[in-house]
Chains A and B, each alone.
Chain A
Amino acid sequence: MAEQSAEALKTTPLYDRHVAAGGRMVPFGGYSLPVQYPAGIMAEHKWTREQAGLFDVSHMGPSFLTLTNPSGDAEADHAAVAALVEPLICGDIRSLKPGQVRYTLLLNETGGAIDDLMIARSPLVPGSLYIVVNAGTKENDFAIIARAAGDKAKLTRADDGALLALQGPEAVNVIAQLAPAAADLGFMTYGAFDWNGTKLIIARAGYTGEDGFEILASADVANQVWDALLADDRVKPIGLGARDSLRLEAGLPLYGHDLNETISPIEAGLGFAVSKRRREAADFPGATRILGEHGGELSRVRIGMLVEGAPAREGADILDADGTVIGVVTSGGFAPSLGKAIAMGFVPPVHAAIGGKLQVAVRGRSQTAEVVAMPFVPHRYFRKAKI
């Protein structure tokens, strides 16, 4: 089936590498990408948790938003570019330090999530932001951002190159071989690093719950960077299947499943992404709803569940102990690190207490599901020791 639609699909600069490595190519977000390599999802998942996994995430939407006429005053220029994007999102971009990366959400007028994304302040160029959005939403996101920027800033897409994610406890030791200075990055910071005469944009961030890096490289060096990373015995290529099981264990929402245009950041348990300054100013889309929800007026919240028996997948009903349908699973599957099924879904807050016993309907039968705190598997992000 994948073969039939392959012609219409876009490929990343690493397509030939995936095929050569035995990747099973599937359509995803308009691109042909490997769901797994011959090792299989389980082995790839565990390798990432124990060593370092290399993911091709070039389908995503990296971009740069840069002031058209910077003043030369770094702080004033940053404030000016931040002021262009802040009306679209709930995060505090203005307070970012050079090189700092922030997770935030692009919101519609009713406070629903148009996308979740990363926005970072350039460590080098005053008045420039590095923005990475999701694959499936990038055309719309870029249009919204470009419209908001008007003629004050230029949005330059960088999704014609390669975006690689190197994730796992060994990632820092591997990146130290490739670009030694990148190993000194703090969590959620980024920089530009020279490698063999070319420039790599490297951020210490990821989507697995592990320490790791995301590397933006131009298309002409994509294969060289891929090969250089895989030359390290601690690194194996990892497909989309394990990317999904890893982020699920890490309790991270997937746009289009656990987030959509009807779901607010508060409902999704992403209240940390609604920055304090923005809450106090109430100056973001859907502020009335979101501030009300922040104050406790919530009709549903995202929960995590440990599921007994068969995995409960997206769309499965969530029932209370009495068998009344109270919500729906938005992501679910088997957690290789835990050896059992886990799921995320939305239920009214009254059913969201940790330890609560709910049920999920799988193929017409009810199975026990216990509400648990997320992440399901503890995050192991790099935190610099405070001196």
Chain B
Amino acid sequence: MKVQRFLARDRFPSLLARLEEAGYDVIGPQVRDHAIVFDALASVEALPRGITDDQAPGRYRLAASSSDRYFDWATGPQALKPLTFAPRETLWTSETRDDGTLVFRERLPEARPTAVIGVRACDLAALAIHDRHFLHGAAPDPHYRARRENLFLVAVNCARSAATCFCTATGDGPRVTHGHDLALGELDDGFVVEAHTDRGRELLATLDTSEATAEALAEVEAGLARAADQQHRRLPAGSLPEQLQAAVAHPHWQDLDDRCLTCGNCTAVCPTCFCQTHVDAISLDGREASHVRQWETCFNPDHSYIHGTVIRAERPQRYRQWLTHKFGTWVAQYGRSGCVGCGRCIAWCPVGIDVTEELAALSQAPTNAPDEAPAPTPGRVPGTVPSKAQGQAPAPNRREGKDD
């Protein structure tokens, strides 16, 4: 049964207090380095009250809001991703004992119960995708699971969208519908609090709330409708997997080579990208080693280095691979597209490449005759990682070089 109550604005600090009393570390949005980021939240005073954002392709700026609300902003650079899929963590260590035998030790994170305040519908949709990726099958990722199972999620229904938002196009927002414990709808004088889980209902019962009036509920609905109306970015009609498959030799990919830096920012801010690389570090005496996992991007040629060659070695092929996976092959893999419409890849691309515009161009028949495939960059041999310095004997990279 849906439980909806009204929490007056002056009682809002009690939500944090009850979460802390229940044993949760509280993570919440706050301003740091000119953006709204998620970090340990000391008090409601640290929340970005009266602050909003102005987002456009390649641009994010904070500004004073016309309201005094705590959540009058759209998504910042992070999602829940760093809290569940750590950017860098040790998975296991090994040690050579005096008798010469090896011992391996799993290094699980010391995950503590963590409550996150301010999660949006798009973030929850992305979390559901990550759950499917990391927790599926007989061998779920224990590091992800340890953090994931400790999360208590306090979501917020959006009452405004940034210009980069397009969750209505993917069907993932702006309304919070699943995956949360509590959902807040912010009004000028307080919050409509809705419990979605048993523990959410238990926590809500400890708060000093009153009945949510029909007017309050209607205002939350009006905010959601406003947020949806503010979105103007769309995805091409029809099946994107089919359109992208048909566009594999589209000349537009080459056009991207004039713009895409292959820096990987889109993949790092994407709440559903999960690529990773593993690195081993060994102690000086060679007795101890640690195996570290860190975020990686499919835009790094090392990521597709397989047995002596780099697959999809050219820049346009890398963007093609990312976009085709995200909106195309992802569907066969996970039963839905990998995009939740948060718009982070648009705002946080340093040169403002807009996936919705690229998809629109790729869904159109080419205006000139299509090439066989994206043309290679001049002076570069496909399938090789170029050495960085010029006119020299090639220095072996870490994988080509053989020790004796």
- Chains A and B are bound partners: no
A contact set with B: CB distance below 8 Å? none
